[in-house]
Chains A and B, each alone.
Chain A
């Protein structure tokens, strides 16, 4: 997953719900230096009885915000969706550098 262009990750989920899976796996995909390189990651754990849907909000360097539906999407489709935008940004960055 391309994480260079992500500036902000906000998640909310109830770990006792089976549908929090993709949100939790997304957090585990962020590289170890993510926070050091300026990405802000906020996680809010909901209490056990809560039925609120788990949410994942991602902000990119170009200002685009993504609100991903963790309930329905698996981790693969989330990564795909994030990478679709990140690749575009990478292309622009490569062109600017060249």
Chain B
């Protein structure tokens, strides 16, 4: 009887056993229950032969290496994964075209951006956190394009499970819904099949014309109009709403190198909360006073006043109904009373006549 290997086999053993006969010796040494191994050297060979009969199931998939549609060990694939996770986690992305900035210009641009964002927020608050995590990075345009498609068209919750074998040979159901998976690839292919234009409602269809040429993105970890306004005033100043920092206040901004860097950056659009905005839209979001909290307060006020109106309107209807019913009742009562009096009079007259 071959030695039983239950599911508690250490992971390293799997490969050692499956690989070939050369590994038999070490495999035998690793096996805990091998009385044959310590007995005669002759039984060594039989035990080893028995061990080599252990095979991994044909459809065994190591849990650390799920099947992928794209090669998982290339830089591009991993970059794609970073982009998809960035797109899923970042609510505010501004897209810039950068036209041949030199390294020193990039450094100057990032420095000025950091200063401007730092001025918005005070130390130790949430907004300081937003400022410190804002990032201006150059992206690979085509890979970013694919990442946008995956984020929009691939829904991990809809992927059907596949059946594979566990190490012990029993069948198990596993879902492979990661971004490099075949399911993701097929979902994207199905959505963008042919040359038919994507519907206007799809965010990818709106943003895809922007993804041309050398691009850089500014990512903010929260939709904070104050930070957005600061970033806009540095990166694409437009005087009335987002003026560039003054020369007196921030001489570094008017540095020759920094200025030539800013001239070469061009804001083409943005993606805020999965919606696509152009330059004007981004400025509009940046111009919201007091940030999201102010908007929420406005909404709450609006709902409250609407509720007040609603209750008074509802009340009014029942009130008016009550009033009409009441007046009708009084009218009826009056009529009834009047009629009775008339009858009584008539009765009296008849009595008088009869008597």
Interface residues of A (CB under 8 A from B): 15-18, 20-21, 24-25, 27-28, 30-32, 34-36, 41, 43, 45, 47-48
- Flag B274-291 by CB within 8 Å of A: 1 or 0 each: 000011110000000000
Beyond the given pairs A16-B206, A25-B212, A32-B101, 16 more chain A to chain B contacts, judged by CB atoms under 8 angstroms and listed by A's residue number, are A15-B210, A15-B269, A16-B278, A21-B209, A21-B213, A24-B97, A24-B212, A27-B97, A27-B266, A28-B97, A28-B100, A28-B214, A30-B99, A31-B100, A32-B100, A45-B266
Contact, CB under 8 Å: A28 / B206: no
Task: Flag if A47 contacts B99 (CB, 8 Å).
Answer: no
**Are B97 and A20 in contact, with the CB atoms below 8 A?**
no
The CA of A6 and the CA of B245, in the complex, are separated in Å by 32
Selected from B212, B260, B266, B268, the residue in CB contact (under 8 A) with A35 is B260
* Contact status A25-B213, CB under 8 Å: yes
Separation of A32 and B213 alpha carbons in the complex (Å): 15
How many residues on the B side are at the interface (Cβ–Cβ under 8 A)? 23
Let me know if B330 is at the binding interface, CB within 8 A.
no
Given A28-B99, A28-B100, answer yes or no on A16-B210 (Cβ-Cβ < 8 Å): yes
Query: Do the beta carbons of A16 and B269 come within 8 Å of each other?
Result: yes
Taking the closest CB of chain A, its distance from the CB of B24, in whole angstroms, is: 61
B-side contacts of A15, CB under 8 Å: 97, 209-210, 268-269, 278
The reply to whether B209 and A28 form a contact with Cβ atoms under 8 Å apart is no
Please, which residues of chain B bring their CB within 8 A of the CB of A18?
209
7 closest A-B pairs (Cβ-Cβ)? A48-B278, A15-B268, A32-B100, A18-B209, A28-B213, A28-B99, A21-B212
Partner of A27, one of B99, B101, B102: B99
**A-B CB contact pairs (8 Å), 15 listed:** A16-B209, A16-B269, A21-B209, A21-B212, A24-B213, A27-B213, A27-B266, A28-B100, A30-B99, A30-B100, A32-B105, A35-B263, A35-B264, A41-B263, A47-B280
Contact (Cβ within 8 A) B100 A47: no
Min CB distance B140 to A, Å, is: 15
Q: Is the CB of A47 within 8 A of B212?
A: no
Closest chain B residue to A50 by CB distance?
Answer: B278
Q: How far is the CA of A32 from the CA of B263 in the complex (A)?
A: 11
Report chain A residues within 8 Å CB of B280.
47-48
Which chain B residue has the least Cβ–Cβ distance from A18? B209
Residues of A within 8 A of B266 (CB): 27, 43, 45
Bound complex: CA of A64 vs CA of B307, how far in Å? 68
